């Protein structure tokens, strides 16, 4: 079964008077959405195509727990019950803003409308997942690390994964500096050590127009730790070395290609060196369908892996797009760039030129056909003495 992702910035979501707040690596996609007015209860609704839907929100310790009992959720105008007890437990135990599941609902496979009302003012929407029988154009598809479609070889360790919240200071206000963020589906694949004679890699095949690899960048308390990982996409390879900072970063974007020609791809992740810190893979996201510049999601834009403060000192092989200018999406080559431009942006440029040539060819054909047809009609209308009708 396919898992489609509806990010909090998706065009499928309707939430009037809501604002999007960057969260860095605290949440999936690097942002959350909530009401602009944090004093009143609010609402949102969204459409989806599938059979199972799950809503994940950021639970706030700043709102009284009794507000949760007022949440009303309906699926196609039929009222459902939110998992309020779990939210209250999560709120009371974490002492932090934390991502938790608000609801899991099952319906007939198809198009549906879901509405959430009386939503607490300090709570935020992180993301929604939809389980369905097949992909649809334009959707973001998310693959968890334990999905059978990812092929692991070598020294990977898998299983449940979480972390001690005591490493995070208790926030004094409703900001998003500290969010307890669990791994997606509570599992990860890790590489803790490397044997040079053993190849340690993960291979994933997908058909789409973008791809993002997310995981956890562990914090370093000594400063003498590093990771070296190679990423190969349809034969184009790049290698990166990471020097983690002191803060552990969930939802860390290891690798991202936001604009690709809509085609079949093979992504291979090779863990080359592990020095005092683990490489942690959490999930992979790709877009199914032709590339779009609609900015319908924030993945790879609000939390690029090469922004300042993320502990990466190696110059990237390419830069991620500017979040404020979709027209600049593409890549900038560096001196050691091994990634083929024809793989990434050549198809987009070639497609535009090809379309223009096709239009010109059709226009020339039509003009030539029109000229020949006119000459033929004049020839048929001539009299036997060669004069045109009505000529003197």
Chain segment 13-55, per-residue pLDDT in tens: 888 888 888 877 778 888 888 888 767 888 999 999 999 999 9
Give the integer Cα–Cα distance in Å for 392 and 332: 71
Give strand pairing partners of 125. Answer: 33, 57
pLDDT per residue as tens digits for the range 255-289? 999 889 999 999 999 999 999 889 999 999 999 98
With beta carbons less than 8 A apart as the criterion, state whether 242 and 229 touch.
Answer: yes
Containing 194, the helix (H) or strand (E) segment is none
Query: Average pLDDT of 215-234?
Result: 87
Per-residue confidence (pLDDT) for residue 311, from 0 to 100: 30
CA 206 to chain centre: 14
pLDDT per residue as tens digits for the range 138-190? 889 999 999 999 999 999 998 776 554 434 443 444 555 566 777 888 899 99
Give strand pairing partners of 290. Answer: none
Rg (CA), the chain: 27
pLDDT per residue as tens digits for the range 358-378? 676 667 766 776 666 555 544
């Amino acid at each position: 079964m396919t898992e489609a992702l509806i990010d909090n910035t998706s065009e499928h979501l309707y939430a009037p008077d809501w604002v999007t707040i960057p969260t860095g690596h605290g949440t999936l996609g690097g942002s959350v959405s909530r009401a602009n007015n944090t004093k009143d209860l609010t609402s949102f609704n969204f459409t989806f195509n599938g059979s199972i839907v799950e809503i994940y929100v950021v639970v706030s310790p700043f709102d009284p727990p009794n507000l949760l009992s007022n949440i009303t959720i309906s699926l196609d105008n039929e009222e459902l019950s939110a998992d309020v007890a779990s939210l209250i437990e999560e709120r009371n135990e974490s002492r932090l803003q934390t991502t938790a599941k608000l609801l899991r609902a099952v319906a007939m496979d198809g198009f549906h409308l879901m509405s959430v009302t009386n939503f607490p003012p300090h709570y935020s929407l992180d993301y929604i997942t939809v389980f369905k029988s097949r992909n649809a154009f334009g959707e973001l598809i998310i693959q968890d690390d334990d999905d059978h479609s990812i092929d692991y070889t070598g020294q990977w360790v898998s299983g449940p994964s979480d972390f001690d919240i005591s490493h995070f200071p208790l926030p004094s206000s409703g900001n998003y500096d500290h969010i307890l963020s669990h791994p997606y589906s509570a599992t990860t694949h890790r590489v803790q050590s490397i044997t040079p004679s053993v190849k340690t890699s993960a291979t994933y095949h997908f058909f789409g127009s973008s791809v993002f690899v997310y995981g956890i960048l562990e914090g370093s308390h000594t400063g003498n730790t590093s990771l070296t990982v190679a990423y190969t996409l349809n034969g184009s390879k790049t290698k990166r070395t990471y020097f983690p900072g002191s803060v552990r970063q969930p939802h860390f974007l290891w690798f991202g290609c936001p604009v690709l020609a809509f085609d079949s791809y093979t992504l291979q992740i090779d863990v080359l060196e592990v020095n005092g810190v683990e490489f942690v893979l959490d999930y992979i996201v790709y877009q199914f369908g032709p590339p779009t510049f609609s900015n319908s999601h924030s993945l790879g834009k609000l939390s690029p892996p090469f922004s300042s403060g993320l502990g990466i000192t190696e110059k990237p092989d390419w830069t991620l797009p500017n979040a404020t200018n979709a027209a600049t999406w593409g890549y900038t080559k560096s001196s050691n760039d091994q990634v083929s431009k024809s793989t990434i942006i050549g198809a987009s440029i070639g497609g535009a030129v090809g379309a223009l040539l096709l239009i010109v060819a059709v226009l020339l054909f039509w003009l030539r056909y029109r000229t020949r047809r006119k000459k033929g009609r004049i020839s048929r209308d001539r009299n036997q003495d060669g004069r045109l009708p009505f000529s003197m």
